[in-house]
Amino acid sequence: MHAVNWFEIPAIDLDRAYQFYSIVLNGNVRKGTFGNGDLILFNVPFNNGEAVGGSLVVRPDLQPSTNGAVLYLNAFGKLTETVGRVEKAGGKVIVPEINLGKFGFAAIIIDSEGNKIGLLSHEL
């Protein structure tokens, strides 16, 4: 069991968000649909319960924010390399490196849509 089962990150422009996350996460996102809506999925094995899944969505009831909870995404590799792609992709690095000891390393960014997002990796 996971404490979180699914998450949705709000986007204003799904194509822009796809470009941003595709660059920053080194291609570990894919476009998809659910019901009548398009979304962007993170490439993790959420169907079999091995990982928590989530998506980026455009919905009128969700707005990007830098307030509230911070969601930490898998950096899919070395944190410094992932953080190095953030500004080139249209985001902003707020905290470039946080040493979490045995839990690895984290960074905090603002994505292309205006969300405060954490990045997490066991490799610096």
Q: Sketch out the chain's domains with CATH numbers.
A: 6-121 (3.10.180.10)
* Averaged confidence pLDDT in the chain: 96
Q: What's the CA gap between 108 and 72, in Å, rounded?
A: 8
Q: What is the pLDDT of residue 36?
A: 86
What share of the chain has pLDDT > 90, as a percent? 91
Q: What is the pLDDT of residue 74?
A: 96
Query: In whole angstroms, what separates CA 50 from the centre of its chain?
Result: 18
Residue 38 token pair: 């398009």
Kindly provide the b/e burial profile for residues 29-64, where b requires at least 16 CB atoms within 10 angstroms of the residue's own CB: beeeeeeeeebbbbeeebeeeeeebbbbbbeeeeeb
What does the pLDDT look like over 57-85, one tens digit per residue?
999 999 999 999 999 999 999 999 999 99
**Is this structure's pTM higher than 0.95?**
no
Is pLDDT of 1 > 80?
no
Is pLDDT of 48 > 90?
no
The residue that leads in pLDDT, 1 or 87, is 87
Strands 6-10 and 53-57: parallel
- Measure the CA dihedral 37/40/43/48, to 10°: -20
Q: What's the CA gap between 66 and 20, in Å, rounded?
A: 17
pLDDT band per the 50, 70, 90 thresholds, residue 49? confident
